[in-house]
């Protein structure tokens, strides 16, 4: 969960004392670093309308994204949820600590070929089971990012949007990536901002998505 405390300890301050007894303090730049500390939950559309070939594209994209980022306790953690007529958690943020292990776990998921695109159930699972919480491996100072890989044609769009708004209100940054023949309007409604909408799972887009994970964090 995204949370940054307001107070800096004296050990993280550089204090300059003037000859007339006046002084001021500023943060020590050495205590801050550019980081991609993010807790990322990937939602995988596994409905029949995706199809086996697009499922492979979806998994390849997700695995490539994982391997392109620094994974670890001070960097990025990943969880994954799969949905069709139902929703099921594949693994949570504390399940794996190495990028290759996460990629292997994703690539080992068989395509279930099950009818239904109940996107709202996956979103509700993220929220109700608190997949960004510390109990699930989340970190207070990490950015919460939800990456939705889908065709964007949910069975219950109103329910889907209700769940999206609840997640946005909690501070979750939502990125949507289109798979197969996508509904761009639904992708846009789900995303936190227009820059977070990607209509194709092109591996060249990964660098743009990575920018959304970047943040400057001070060790406070």
Give the model's pLDDT for residue 96: 97
Helix (H) or strand (E) holding 65: helix 51-67
Give the model's pLDDT for residue 12: 39
Give the model's pLDDT for residue 9: 43
Instruction: Find out whether 48 and 115 touch, Cβ atoms under 8 Å.
Output: yes
d(CA 120, CA 124): 6
Q: Which stretches in the chain have pLDDT values below 50?
A: 2-33, 216-220
Q: CB within 8 A of 119, min separation 6: which ones?
A: 43, 45, 83, 148, 150, 154, 155, 156, 160
Coil, strand or helix: which one is 26?
A: strand
- Domain covering 33-218 in this structure, CATH number: 3.40.50.410
d(CA 14, CA 29): 9
């Amino acid at each position: 969960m995204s949370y940054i405390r307001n107070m800096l300890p004296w050990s993280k301050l550089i204090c300059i004392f003037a000859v007339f007894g006046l002084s001021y303090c500023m943060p020590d730049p050495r205590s801050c670093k550019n980081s991609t500390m993010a807790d990322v939950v990937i939602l995988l559309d596994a409905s029949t309308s995706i199809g086996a070939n697009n499922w492979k594209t979806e998994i390849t994209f997700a695995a490539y994204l994982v391997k392109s980022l620094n994974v670890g306790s001070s960097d990025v953690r990943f969880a994954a949820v799969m949905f069709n007529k139902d929703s099921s958690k594949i693994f949570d943020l504390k399940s794996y600590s190495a990028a290759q292990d996460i990629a292997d776990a994703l690539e080992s998921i068989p395509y279930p070929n099950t009818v239904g695109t109940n996107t709202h159930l996956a979103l509700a699972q993220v929220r109700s089971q608190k997949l960004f919480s510390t109990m699930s491996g989340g970190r207070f100072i990490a950015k919460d990012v939800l990456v939705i890989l889908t065709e964007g044609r949910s069975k219950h769009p109103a329910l889907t949007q209700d769940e999206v708004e609840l997640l946005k209100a909690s501070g979750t940054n939502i990125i949507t990536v289109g798979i197969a023949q996508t509904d761009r309007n639904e992708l846009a409604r789900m995303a936190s901002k227009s820059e977070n909408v990607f209509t194709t799972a092109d591996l060249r887009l990964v660098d743009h998505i990575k920018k959304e994970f970047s943040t400057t964090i001070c060790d406070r």
